[in-house]
Amino acid sequence: MDLLLHLRGFAAVADEMSVSEAALELGVDQPLLSRRLRALERELGVELLDRSRRQIALTPAGHALLPRARHLVDQADHLLRSIRRHDRERFVVGVPSGCDPAPLARLVALLETEGVEIRLASDDEEAPESAAWLVDACDPDAATWVTPLGAATLPAATLPATTGATPRPVSLSSLRPRRGGDRTQVLALPRDLDDPAGRLRRLADGAGIGPGALRRTPHQLAVAETLAGRGTMICARHEAVTYGLSWSPFIDPVARGHRLAELQPVPGPLAAGEVRAQALALLGACVGAPEEGRG
């Protein structure tokens, strides 16, 4: 016996005080509802309705059962609503601020083509704890995606002719202040300089760039200082070229790491297979990881 179905029928009859009205409300035939009521009474071993009168009434057992029946029906309805709402909720993907927007747009298009309703969230909002996929910063040695960093400078066309204009790999030590030279700032983004492991600070210190020469600067301000010719920004390639800056990769192992934090279950197309592989590759591209740096 479907106990919930029978309790729902009993509660409807109690509300309407009429089997025919309750059947109409539930969208079932009156004889079927009557059979369900009889089956419920047999199961419980009591009579729930007094049918001896012209209008039905609840027996003492019926009065005792009614609030419990309503509670169970309400709980079941709430459960169904919650599950259906969860099924319709958008798939939240949390990404770091400053992601490359082009692959991010391709990721949205891919998932929408597969019938996945995606919502993007950024870490400059409150941390999206409900994100089904969260691209989280981590040590490059333990990363899903490794993004090489480099030096971003004022585009060569705007510099004096004596300044070299061909982008080429550079060493971190080439950025250290020179005695008697220009006092160009070395600008590091907070996400790199605030790394708990202090990786960039250690590498910079080893390259002769002390704490006084390495300035922690928010992204937009670092771009502005670099465009003004007053600084060199340490960043990923996409963070430089988006603003028309020249970018050269470091010879040194200066890198940024990200990993995927995943909440199960995920929509079917993203559980395994080609669509998942494509989506993860696009996430890697969003944070500037080259193909060989995407695992």
pLDDT tens digit sequence for 149-194: 999 988 865 444 334 444 588 888 888 877 655 567 888 888 888 7
Both 160 and 192 in one domain: the answer is: yes
Both 212 and 263 in one domain: the answer is: no
Q: Widest CA span of the chain, in angstroms?
A: 109
Both 129 and 274 in one domain: the answer is: yes
User: Among 68, 88, 108, which residue terminates a domain?
Assistant: 88
Both 159 and 249 in one domain: the answer is: yes
**What confidence score (pLDDT) does residue 125 get?**
63
Both 64 and 95 in one domain: the answer is: no
Both 160 and 180 in one domain: the answer is: yes
In the chain, the number of structural domains is 3
CATH of the domain at 30: 1.10.10.10
DSSP β-bridge partners for residue 292: none
Both 184 and 269 in one domain: the answer is: no
% the chain with pLDDT above 70: 86
Both 183 and 243 in one domain: the answer is: yes
Report the distance separating Cα 255 and Cα 197, nearest Å. 13
Both 52 and 121 in one domain: the answer is: no
Domain span at residue 71? 3-88
Q: Which residues of 157-177 are buried (b: 16+ CB within 10 A; e: fewer)?
A: eeeeeeeeeeeeebebeebbb
pLDDT tens digits, residue range 64-122? 998 888 888 888 877 776 665 554 467 888 888 888 889 999 999 998 888 888 888 88
DSSP β-bridge partners for residue 258: 137, 145
Report the distance separating Cα 126 and Cα 92, nearest Å. 13
Both 136 and 265 in one domain: the answer is: yes
